[in-house]
Structure 1
Amino acid sequence: MTIAGRILRYIAFFWIAVLSFGTFYESFAHNHAFFLGFKQAAIKTGWYMPAFYCHIFASSVILLVGFFQFSEKVYNNKKLHRALGKIYVFGVLLIAAPGAYVMTLFVNRGTGVFISFFIQNTLWVAFTLAALLLIKKGDLDGHVKMMHRSYGLAFGAVTLRFYIWLFHVVGNGVNFDHNYIIIAFLSWVPNLILVEWINSKKRGPLTPNL
């Protein structure tokens, strides 16, 4: 791997760690008081809070687990790779994605934002399930490509927060007309484009190269 590639991976891991550990700290220290302050109507339904915590906790673990799945050391340790893979796949399919669907119902940012998050979550489920089925069939290359796509969508949690921060710094925040819908699509569509480029550049058997 090139030096530039390693630097990008280290930067990605830094932001994954910040998001993941920040989520746990915020949950126990402040109970996400600022964010949840805007969700009082949703909270009163009784559906939102269980979905919220399922999604944010599972997604934090998934981001960390998924990152190391592309490590050559982890990949070559078959028992560890399978164990982490099960955590990732079933964490997405049974906890994080269902929670995200419920949260999407209460997004209150307009139809466009709802559509963006709904499509992202549905593709996340589809790619993750496809990755599981492909490895069961012994299609390693197809499995790795699907996992690239799945993780690209999971990484949308990181890019979403990056763009929210960026729009606050250089723009009018997330409440300006159409800004949030731009951020919603920007958080995952470029990720998938990058993943498809990476998949297209791979020749022969796909293997991790961390």
Structure 2
Amino acid sequence: MNSHLTTVGKIIMTILVVAIVLGYVAVQYGIVGAEYAGLVKVKLSKPDFHYSPWIYVLYTHIVSGCVALVVGLIQLLRKPEAERMQLHRWLGKIYVICILLSGIVNIYLSIFASGGGFSKAGFFLLDSLWICATLTAVNRIQKSQVEAHQQWMLRSYALTFSGVTLRIWLPLLMTPFEFETAYPMVAWLAWVPNLLIAEWAIRKRATKVKRLASHAIPIVE
């Protein structure tokens, strides 16, 4: 019972965090305007920065990334049932398309990332792993490797969730540090811990499955 309540609590907390981030993105970039966002202000302060076409690429990243964040959460929280597999597949296709689109434009954005080479390397590696993990998950389900597909999708969503953790880490780090110091750290902290947690969850589940299998009572005919 306590374990169930803990799981429900984690689900509710995850949904709330995603909702808060989506609300922030909608207000900041949809109502207030991108030019007033903190990260964009930093770029606009540089005389050699070209607002266009960078801003259009940014909006493509924001829209596709937010859709992937929501759709991925739905896929993660609901159990695919036989009578709803068609919906699961369609949502999966939307998720993959959004990640491919966002991941490709993110590589462009990483080239112009604030914070120097350390930031650019962090975001470039994030985007590359994001695309690779998602395509690997697709490849595994095409080969009917369901367990492997779920594992790679969990890794993929851990990287998708970096859009949320970035906005948690940045204000925390900007309390003791200046932006120029905090942002390069965020470029790695936004996704590396997420991926480590996903790996821990995958290995924990694999260990539990093996333990249950070893305690299974064989049926003697």
- Equivalence for 2:86: 79
User: What is the CA RMSD across the aligned residues, in angstroms?
Assistant: 1.8
- Report the CA distance between 1:51 and its aligned residue: 1.2
Structure 1 position 193 matched with structure 2 position 196: yes
Which structure is higher in RCO with an 8 Å CA cutoff and minimum separation 6? 1
Structure 1 position 4 matched with structure 2 position 11: no
- Equivalence for 2:214: none
Identity rate of aligned residues, in percent?
28
- Equivalence for 2:29: 27
- Equivalence for 2:179: 174
- Equivalence for 1:14: 16
- Equivalence for 1:106: 112
Q: Which one of 29, 41, 47 corresponds to residue 37 of structure 1?
A: 41
Please, which runs of 5 or more residues in structure 1 have no aligned partner?
206-210
- Report the CA distance between 1:102 and its aligned residue: 1.1
Q: Indicate if the aligned counterparts of 2:165 and 2:190 stay in contact, CA closer than 8 A.
A: yes
Q: Indicate if the aligned counterparts of 1:168 and 1:174 stay in contact, CA closer than 8 A.
A: yes
Return the alpha-carbon distance in structure 1 between the equivalents of residues 78 and 102 of structure 2. Answer: 26
Return the alpha-carbon distance in structure 1 between the equivalents of residues 121 and 41 of structure 2. Answer: 24
Structure 1 position 124 matched with structure 2 position 146: no
Please, which runs of 5 or more residues in structure 2 have no aligned partner?
211-221
Structure having the higher Rg? 2
- Equivalence for 2:71: 65
Residues matched between the structures, number:
199
Return the alpha-carbon distance in structure 1 between the equivalents of residues 147 and 67 of structure 2. Answer: 25
- Report the CA distance between 1:173 and its aligned residue: 4.2
Return the alpha-carbon distance in structure 2 between the equivalents of residues 115 and 180 of structure 1. Answer: 12
- Report the CA distance between 1:5 and its aligned residue: 2.6
After TM superposition, the score normalised by the length of structure 1 is: 0.87
- Equivalence for 2:121: 115
Structure 1 residue identity aligned to 2:7: G
- Report the CA distance between 1:121 and its aligned residue: 0.6
Return the alpha-carbon distance in structure 1 between the equivalents of residues 88 and 28 of structure 2. Answer: 30
The range that moved more, 188-197 or 20-29, is: 20-29
Structure 1 residue identity aligned to 2:105: G
After TM superposition, the score normalised by the length of structure 2 is: 0.83
Return the alpha-carbon distance in structure 2 between the equivalents of residues 20 and 60 of structure 1. Answer: 7
Q: 1:108 to 1:72 in 2, by over 3 A?
A: closer
Cα deviations by residue, 1:68-113 (Å, 9 ceiling, x for unpaired): 102235x2221211111011001111x2111211111111311111
Cα deviations by residue, 1:108-133 (Å, 9 ceiling, x for unpaired): 31111111111111000000011111
